[in-house]
Structure 1
Amino acid sequence: MLNVNPDTVCRLIELAQAYHVREPANIPNEDNNTVDDWSQNMLDDHKDNTSYEEFETIIKDLEPDQQHEVVALLWLGRGDYSLEEWDSTVKLARQQWSPETAQYLIDHPLLADYLREGLELHGYECD
Structure 2
Amino acid sequence: MLEIDVNKVGFIIAKAREFETKEVGMGEDSGVAHTEEDIQDEEFQENLIAHGDEDSDDSTYEELKSWIEAFNDEDQCQVVALTWIGRGDFTADDWDEALRIATEEHNDRTAEYLLGMPLLPDYLEEGLSLFNLTYDE
TM-score (norm 2): 0.75
> Residue in 1 aligned with 2:45?
none
Deviations 1:12-70 (A, max 9, x none): 001111112223899xxxxxxxxxx7x15348744534111111122111110110000
| CA distance in structure 1 between the partners assigned to 2:2 and 2:124 by the alignment | 13
Are 2:22 and 2:56, in contact at CA under 8 Å, matched by a contact in 1? no
Query: Is 1:100 the equivalent of 2:95?
Result: no
> Residue in 2 aligned with 1:78?
87
| CA distance in structure 1 between the partners assigned to 2:114 and 2:71 by the alignment | 14
Amino acid at match of 1:115: L
Taking every aligned residue pair, what percent have the same amino acid on both sides? 34
Q: Larger Cα Rg: Structure 1 or Structure 2? A: 1
| Structure 1: stretches of 5+ with no match in the other structure | 27-36
Deviations 1:65-119 (A, max 9, x none): 1100000011000011011110110000011111110110011110000001111
Amino acid at match of 1:64: D
> Residue in 2 aligned with 1:19?
19
**Per the alignment, in what secondary structure is the counterpart of residue 80 of structure 1?**
coil
In the comparison of the two structures, how many residue pairs are matched?
Answer: 116
TM-score (norm 1): 0.80
| CA distance in structure 1 between the partners assigned to 2:12 and 2:29 by the alignment | 27
| CA distance in structure 1 between the partners assigned to 2:121 and 2:12 by the alignment | 8
**Per the alignment, in what secondary structure is the counterpart of residue 22 of structure 2?**
coil
> Residue in 1 aligned with 2:30?
41
| CA distance in structure 2 between the partners assigned to 1:77 and 1:24 by the alignment | 22
Larger helix percent: 2
| CA distance in structure 2 between the partners assigned to 1:104 and 1:87 by the alignment | 21
> Residue in 2 aligned with 1:7?
7
> Residue in 1 aligned with 2:65?
56
